[in-house]
Each structure stands twice: as structure tokens, then as C-alpha cells.
Structure 1
């Protein structure tokens, strides 16, 4: 028995010695690791906001080292970042309690027994700028998380946005159930995996001169599996799912609701060419409690020459202030460029077109109870001899091929017209008349010679190549096609 106790005691002392030695080693290595991580983060921040102007920088304010743990403070400063139509600037400070490896106590409590170099537990620091945010989260750090750093420099952790409840004097409010984002990545950020979840978000926006707007979201999920390319950006799969969303607005406070929303993004690279595909789906749409239908939009871009596109984006980012000043002065942004800059800009556009990119609407579809409509469009581009040629010549040389296919369901048109009549409170006879709107649209389409009728669908097929247009089986020149469009446009305008 004494031998057993002695052996166990010796084992415990050995483990304690190893942990102490590991903690000391981690403490010695920590400053260099933090400097490397911050430099890498700043590089990725600069790349991610390159097209939005402004700047973002992370700075290590202090580091207090001890045997088993250290405390670090970081400062994030974002200046003049373009978000929509606004410029945004803010500063945040984080406090990070770093437990040294190989067996940090927080991981042992969670039964995570794999040795790591360090375990980071960070939280937003309360200051004058974030006091309101802390008040909304019941004085709990609203942004916090943990991250483990492996001995191979891989990372694994979770970022949390805590529940928030904000109510303003005029009646506007925000209530968030909380957000979690699981993050894992390779040593140099060469791979990144994300898995996020938002339970619910409810917002009410009140303004003095307009009816309130209410937004409700439930079941938002994010999943991403990405890898870093030699060009400094990530490719892979990014999926965003939203179970339910509702928007209430207007004098009648009618509700527009969506169920089963999906956004699936796929980015792939082969050699120096990028291919992008995005698919948006809505399983069910309703308005004011009345069913509308379902929808899907899928688009893609292929053969995008990465160095050429990056060079074009770099030009735009470098000249963004001049473009904004020109727009504010009410002149064309191109007038803000010198002759040399315009020539440089044209060369960068020609370099993108040299890769013969293809842009496509692979599927735009809408389905109601009685019909479904679809539209497809593919455009193949090429490099013209010069952008200084007359516009007609540039267009002919740049647009190599166009293919479009439209199938417009007459019953679907009737369903939407009848729904509009119901929403407007029309009587039964008017609703019945509206349901026959598809037939009227079909007659107009036949009159224009731009479409044909096949069963219950209005169909139009167009193909363009080598200066020739084939419209619904009829060949014509570009000039003849343009004349057909202009004659129909004039007829729609009517006599003056």
C-alpha cells in the first residue's frame, strides 16, 4: 500500500514538475508568439478592408507575465471604414487572461486534456465608449471568448456576443438572445473553420414621422470551411441559414415573412483564376398572412484572373478619396483622374477582360401555388483591341456571347395579381379578373414579337454571337434586334 501511495505521489510530483516547466517555457515564448499573431492579424485586417477604405490596427498595450498565467491588454482601432453610405470609426480595448500550458486549469475543468501551449480568455473592457453596451448586457462583458493555442500554433476557440436588451426613450428597441461563433484554424491561418449560431433578434425602429418598423429573426446559422490562397484571400464554402424572418412596416403594419432562407457561397481557385457561385433560396414567402410562394436566385462568375482583379481593386482603393470628392462635387468620378491615371485604369480593365470572364444568372425562379417562372442569362466577355474605340465597336468586341432563356408562367402571374387585389381589399369579381392577368401579359408578349407561347408559359430565347442575334428561332442582325426593341419601347410610351 505504501509503495502504491508512494508511486502515485511520485507521479503527481512528476506531472506538477512537467506542468511547471511547461508554464515557464510558455511564459518565455509568449511575447514572441503574441507579436507574431498580432502582425498576422493586422495583415489579414488590411486585406479584408482593402476595398472599403479606412484602416484597422490591433496593438498590444501591455503584458504582465507570471509563472502560470499572464495578462495582456489589446487595443483595436478602426478609422474611416466605409459601411454602406457611412464612414465608421471606433476603438475597443480587450483584457486577456492567458493561462500557460501544457494543461491550463480552464481546459481541465472542461475535461479537455490535450496539452496546449496557452489558453486565452478575453473580454471587452468597460470604458466611456462601451459603457452603454455594458448596460445593455446587464453589466456583463458583451463581447468575450476563449482561444487555445496548440504547440503547432493551431488555434481553437469560441467568440460570444452576450444577450443584449436595449430600449430607447422614443420606443426603439433591440433584443438579442446572444451569438456564438466557434473558430478553428491552422498555424499561419492557412485553414479556417467557422460555425456560428444566433438564437433570435428582435428590433423595433421608431421615427417621429413614419410608422414603426419591426424586424424579427430566428435560427440564424453560419458555417464556413476556408483555405488561404497564395494571393492572400480565402476560398471555400460559406453557408448562411435563417429559419424565420419577419418585417412589419407601413401604415397597415403588414408583415412580410420568410421561412427557410439559405445563402450558399462557393469560392474556388484553379491556377490564377477564381470561380464564384452564390445561391439564394427562400422556401416560403407570405405577406400579411397570405401565402406568396418560394424563390431562388443563383449566379456565378468564372475565369476571373486574380492578379488582374486585385490590381483593379488596388487602383480603386488608392483613388477612392478622389472618386468620393468628385461625386460630392456632382461630376463624374473619371474626371478626378489624370490622363496617365485613366490610361492605367483602362489597362487594368483590359487585363481582367483578357481572361475571358463569364458572368451568369444560372437560375432566377419564382413559384406560386399554380405556376413557376424561370430566367437564365450567360454573358461571355473578351478583351477588345482598345477602350478608346467608339462604344459600338468596344461593345461588339467585348461581348463575345450572350444566351438568355425566359419561361414566364401565366398562372403564376395570375396568382400574384390576385394576391395584390386581395391585399388592396378588392371584391370577389375584381380578384377573379386579376387572376386572368397572365393571359393579358401573354397577348402583349405575342404582339411585341419578343416571345412565344408554349402551353401555359410565355417563352423567350435569345442567343448572340459574332454580331448575329437569334431570337426565338429567328436570325437577325444586331441593328434589326435593336430596331425591334425600340419599336416596342415606342409603342409602350404611346403617342405624345
Structure 2
């Protein structure tokens, strides 16, 4: 009897403690809502300054173990110009909050990690999103389940439901998507990983044909954190198994194995980064046009100067934006360009290096490649403003190296495939392609832009200290500009007149 009484007493004490803790954490959550909304509005101002919207919370109802609240996106009365939402329109999320330390929603998943709250979010059917709920047959397109730790960090699983909707000749088929998102309280770290297996959009084009665009096996991931210069550093990746365009039941173009990877990091002074693009195959009307890749690197970007550039540029752009409809769109574009040019010297402070290594395209007959490295000059103290375009180039450019190699068989193969698309037979397309590539090579040599060596069209360019070397021929920057009428210089007289172009065969009917 005494043991039973002790057990009941323990249960009562634990229950009372849980109830008190749940009530207390619910109160803590309520006190932090203002901070979370303020952070969200700060991000809206940073990334969507022209939207003219803000986030508010309404109708908060706090109970012991759970609460409810509406988060609402609405027009910002203080914003000027055209807004994304009309006055009175709302995009609202209904949030059901299970209080910690052991939210019921987490216990259902056998997650016993103490947390402040577990939040389930769904889109509310308001007039502003009425059309969206018609597409989803009355269901919330987006729902999310989030765990908020006592530190304020958030871990969420966001689901976008599948959609199958048709109106007249237009049709949307979406297989749904899932994203796992982790966000630090102060937004210093953000990571997400998401995927969707299919998206198909069918519509009628301007010629009355049914055009279908399909995307399969899309995935996205990102892992970024604020570095010492308060700028986002980290990795991002996007991949898609296939993107296809189909017109009236026939494949027009297919892109296979697309990927984009980006990486940014920093040292004590500089920021460096790299973008890598790859495409495994491009097929147009069943013809294989090959595969490609592109790698772009940036280095020696002064971190403090980049942060200063970002702050100043954003501040000036916001001031211009606040003028709203009072400024002509053409004037707005020009002033935005002027702001960029005025602040550009900040980006040159570290003497940045930009390189393309390589840009390449490959098919069954070979691989073309283009490489480029540009070393920029850091602005010098008390530097006199440039008076001419060539002086400006000398001030900004320290060194340029570029190399282009196009194998003749590879170029002929691309031209042959293009000829087939135009209706030529295989034999006619091959003959025409050979003529076109030979003509291109001859023209490049005539204008001294390219050479022909080892059955490849080649070009090399080097610039440093106001001197240019083009395919082994040395000249000053001004002489180089004179060859092509650049920088206001007159074109050099033509030494050789091109022959009359050969007649082009007409495809058989």
C-alpha cells in the first residue's frame, strides 16, 4: 500500500512538474515571438526590398500544453511604390504549438530530446490564395513540422503536397517535395536539403501547339554560415536528372544530368569561391549535341571591402527604392547602375583574380576548351581618374590570359547536327558543315584572331603592362584596339579581301 502511494505521489509530482514546465515554456515562446517576427521582417527587407510586405502575428491563444497563432504576410503601409499584396490581402499560416519540455508532437515520433516547442504550420485559405486552394482541392499546399530548441534554434521538415490540376489546355502535375531545414536563432547558420521527383507543366504555345516541360529528380542542398566578415560562407548544390521540352508529342530538347555546385570560404583577409556547372548531355530533336562543363573561380576578394560594398550598395539602393513611383523606371535603372559603378572600386581593393578553367564542350569527335584568367588591379592611393578608355583598362586590368582550342572534327560534328535539324540529309549536312568550319577557320586567320594547327582552330591572348600578345604577335593595347576599331581607334586597313561565299545547298524537299 505504501509502495502504491509512493508511486502515485511520484506520478502526481511529475505530472505537476510537466504541467508547470509546459506552461512556463509556452510563456517563454510567447515572449520570443516578437523577436522571431522582427528577424523575419529584417530578412524580407534584405532579400525582397521591393515586395512592400511585412510579417505580423495575430490571435495568439495560449493554453497549458499547446497554443495557436496566426502568422500573416500583409502589405506594409510604410512601403512606397507597387506592392506584392494589395491593402487588405493576407497570406496567413495557422500554427499549432505544442509546449515543451516534451512536446506531444515530438513524443509521437519517439523524440525525447527536450525542446521549447513543436510547431505544426499550414497555409490558411484566404482570398489572396483562393486560386491556389482550388488547384490543391482545398488542401494546404505547404505544411511544416518544426522543433524549436531552448536556445532558439529551429529544425523543420517542410512538405509541399503533390498537385494534379488541369484547366482547359493547361495542366500541372507535381510530385511533391520535402525539405529539411535547420536555422540558428540568430540566422548565423542555415542548412537545408530537399528533393522533388517530378514536375510537368503542359500549356498551349502561341502557335496552338501543346508544349510540355518536364523536370525529374530535382535536388537542392545548402549549408552556409556567417563568416568573420558577416557574409555567408559554405556550400550549395542543385542537381536535376533530366529537363525535357516536348512539342505536340515530340521531344524538342532534352538536358540530362545538370548540376551546379558552389563553394565559398575565407581566410584572415580574403574570400574565395568557385562555381562548377556540368551537363551530361544535350539532345535536340533526338540529335546528340554533346556535353559541357564550366568552372568559374574567384580569389583575393578583400572580405572587409566586400562587406563595406554590400552595406553601402544596399543602403543606397534602398534609399533609391523608397522613392517608389516618383522616379521614372529608366532613370531608376540608370541610377542603380551608377551606384554599382561608384562602389565598384571597393571590390578591387584586394586585387581580385577571376578565372574560367575550363569552359568546355565535348562530343563524339572531340572536345573544345576555353580558359581565362583575369587579374585585377587594386586601386592605388591618390590615383588620378582615367581620362580615356585605354587608361581605365590599364588602371583596372593587371593581367589577362585566354586560350581557345576548337578541334575541327568536333566543330564539324556540331555543324552537321545543326544541318540535320534544318532538313538537310546526312550527306548534305556533312558537306555543308565542312564548308562552314573551313570558312570560319579561314576568316579567323584572315583577321589574325585564330590559327590552324594540328587540325584545331586555336587562339591565345595575353595582356599585361599595356602590352598585348595575340597568337604570338606583340603589340600595344592601342594597336590591338586599332585592329578592330575598339576604344574609338580607327580600324586597320584590310590587307586581304575575302572571297565570295560559296553557294549553300538547299535541303531536299
User: CA contact under 8 A between 2:279 and 2:292: conserved in structure 1?
Assistant: yes
Residue pairs, 1:13-412, within 5 angstroms: 13-50=12-49, 53-77=50-74, 88-89=84-85, 91-169=90-168, 171-207=169-205, 209=207, 211-229=209-227, 232-249=230-247, 254-271=251-268, 273-304=270-301, 305-310=305-310, 311-320=312-321, 328=329, 333-334=333-334, 347-382=342-377, 383=379, 385-387=383-385, 389-412=387-410
User: CA contact under 8 A between 2:123 and 2:143: conserved in structure 1?
Assistant: yes
Gap runs ≥5 in structure 1: 81-85
In 2: Cα distance, 1:472 partner to 1:452 partner: 7
Q: CA separation of 1:190/1:327 partners in 2, compared to 1, >3 Å: closer, same or farther?
A: same
Q: CA separation of 1:325/1:59 partners in 2, compared to 1, >3 Å: closer, same or farther?
A: closer
Q: CA separation of 1:395/1:14 partners in 2, compared to 1, >3 Å: closer, same or farther?
A: same
Cα deviation, residue 208, structure 1: 5.0
Q: Aligned to 1:348, what secondary structure does the other structure show? A: helix
What RMSD over aligned residues (CA atoms) do the two structures have, in Å? 3.2
Q: What residue in structure 2 maps to residue 416 of structure 1?
A: 414
Cα deviation, residue 10, structure 1: 5.3
User: CA contact under 8 A between 2:52 and 2:84: conserved in structure 1?
Assistant: no
Cα deviation, residue 348, structure 1: 2.4
Q: Aligned to 1:245, what secondary structure does the other structure show? A: strand
Q: CA separation of 1:332/1:13 partners in 2, compared to 1, >3 Å: closer, same or farther?
A: closer
User: CA contact under 8 A between 1:346 and 1:387: conserved in structure 2?
Assistant: no
User: CA contact under 8 A between 1:152 and 1:187: conserved in structure 2?
Assistant: yes
In 1: Cα distance, 2:22 partner to 2:150 partner: 12
In 1: Cα distance, 2:135 partner to 2:413 partner: 45
Q: CA separation of 1:415/1:4 partners in 2, compared to 1, >3 Å: closer, same or farther?
A: farther
In 2: Cα distance, 1:297 partner to 1:200 partner: 26
User: CA contact under 8 A between 1:323 and 1:333: conserved in structure 2?
Assistant: no
Q: CA separation of 1:220/1:122 partners in 2, compared to 1, >3 Å: closer, same or farther?
A: same
Cα deviation, residue 276, structure 1: 3.1
Which stretch has the larger CA shift, 238-247 or 181-190?
181-190
Q: TM-score, normalised by structure 1?
A: 0.87
Q: What residue in structure 2 maps to residue 83 of structure 1?
A: none
Gap runs ≥5 in structure 2: 486-490, 501-509
User: CA contact under 8 A between 2:283 and 2:289: conserved in structure 1?
Assistant: yes
Which stretch has the larger CA shift, 65-74 or 419-428?
419-428
User: CA contact under 8 A between 1:77 and 1:92: conserved in structure 2?
Assistant: yes
Cα deviation, residue 284, structure 1: 1.4
Q: TM-score, normalised by structure 2?
A: 0.85
Cα deviation, residue 478, structure 1: 1.4
Q: Aligned to 1:129, what secondary structure does the other structure show? A: helix
Q: What residue in structure 1 maps to residue 505 of structure 2?
A: none
Which stretch has the larger CA shift, 297-306 or 134-143?
297-306
User: CA contact under 8 A between 1:312 and 1:349: conserved in structure 2?
Assistant: no
User: CA contact under 8 A between 1:414 and 1:434: conserved in structure 2?
Assistant: no
In 2: Cα distance, 1:68 partner to 1:458 partner: 74
Q: Aligned to 1:17, what secondary structure does the other structure show? A: helix
Deviations 1:106-135 (A, max 9, x none): 111111111111000011111112122112
Cα deviation, residue 231, structure 1: 5.1
In 2: Cα distance, 1:300 partner to 1:316 partner: 27
